[in-house]
Every structure is written in structure tokens, then in C-alpha cells.
């Protein structure tokens, strides 16, 4: 628990130090607190193992950074989308996408993000990021994506 708190504080200081510039790449065309800012400076997605809604260590690290970013932009609301690869039935993948989105929602809530600022939805296998029937495509489609809604 202490390590998570320390990581959150460190991430917050890092993001605060970046507040004077709009992003790490120095592109002044990116507005702070936007979807593009989230993508470029934090990351908007986490990935899951096959048939799992368990957050990996990498996913937790990304979500810690997202939580710090959301604390910095406290008027920003989000929708968390849960996705699955094409294997399995539509119903099964909708349920799995829901579990993935809820895992992210719960993690961010535990990190201090107000639940009134978050919604979550499952798209199951209906919106693949990568079209294909191989592990490369599957691994990119087993994801959760955080979308800025305002």
C-alpha cells in the first residue's frame, strides 16, 4: 500500500512539473486535460491476458498515472470502455469487457478518483482495435480504454 501511495505521489509531482508545458514532446498544440494529453503523456489504455479481467503490474502502473492525471484535472470526466478479442460468444465477450472496465473503474476509485466522474461500458468484441485472427490482433483487442468525455 505504501509503495502505491509513494508511486501516486511521485507521479503527481511529475505531472505537476509537466503542467508548465502541454506535453513531454513539447507540442504546444496539445491542450492540457484533453484526450490527446492523456494519450501522449499518460496512456489511455491497459491490456489484459486471455480470458482475464485481472490487472497486470503494467496496467496498474498506467492506472496509477491516470489517477494522478485525473487528480490534476479534477473537472475532467471519463468513460472506461472494456473490450475483448473476437474469440467467444457475443454475450460472453460483453460480460468479459464489463469485468475489465469495472476492474479499471474500481482501481481508479481506490486511487481516489471520484466515482461521480467515471462511467464504464463494455463493447465486448464489437469494436476491435486491430482486425485479425492471430495473437497479435487478440492481444491489442483485450483492453480497456479511458475516454475523456468533457
Beta-bridged to residue 45, according to DSSP, are 145
Residue of 27, 30, 22, 46 lying closest to 106 (CA atoms)? 46
pLDDT digits (tens, 9 = 90+) for 80-116: 999 999 999 999 999 999 999 999 999 999 999 999 9
Strands 45-47 and 118-124: unpaired
Residue 16: pLDDT band with limits 50, 70, 90: very low
**Percentage of residues in the chain with pLDDT exceeding 90?**
80
* Residues 6 or more apart whose Cβ sits within 8 Å of residue 134: none
What integer pLDDT is reported at residue 28 of this predicted model?
A: 63
Q: Strands of 118-124's sheet, edge to edge?
A: 45-47, 143-148, 78-83, 118-124
CATH number for the domain that contains residue 56 = 3.30.1330.60
**Percentage of residues in the chain with pLDDT exceeding 70?**
81
What is each CA distance from 141 to 23, 81, 97, 103, in whole angstroms? 27, 12, 10, 16
How many structural domains is the chain composed of? 1
Q: What is the mean pLDDT of the chain?
A: 87
Q: Could you tell me the residue range of the domain that residue 99 belongs to?
A: 2-148
Amino acid at each position: 500500500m505504501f509503495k502505491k501511495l509513494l508511486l501516486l505521489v511521485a507521479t503527481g509531482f511529475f505531472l505537476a512539473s509537466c503542467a508548465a508545458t502541454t506535453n513531454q514532446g513539447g507540442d504546444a498544440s496539445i491542450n492540457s486535460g484533453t484526450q490527446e494529453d492523456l494519450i501522449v503523456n499518460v496512456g489511455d489504455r491497459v491490456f489484459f491476458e486471455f480470458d482475464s479481467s485481472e490487472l497486470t503490474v503494467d496496467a496498474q502502473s498506467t492506472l496509477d498515472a491516470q489517477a494522478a492525471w485525473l487528480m490534476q484535472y479534477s473537472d475532467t470526466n471519463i468513460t472506461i470502455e472494456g473490450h475483448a478479442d473476437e474469440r467467444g460468444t457475443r454475450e460472453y465477450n460483453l460480460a468479459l469487457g464489463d469485468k475489465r472496465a469495472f476492474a479499471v473503474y474500481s482501481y481508479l476509485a481506490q486511487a481516489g478518483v471520484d466515482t461521480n466522474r467515471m462511467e464504464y461500458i463494455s463493447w465486448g468484441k464489437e469494436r476491435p482495435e486491430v482486425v485479425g485472427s492471430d495473437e497479435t490482433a487478440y492481444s491489442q483487442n483485450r483492453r480497456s480504454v479511458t475516454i475523456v468525455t468533457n
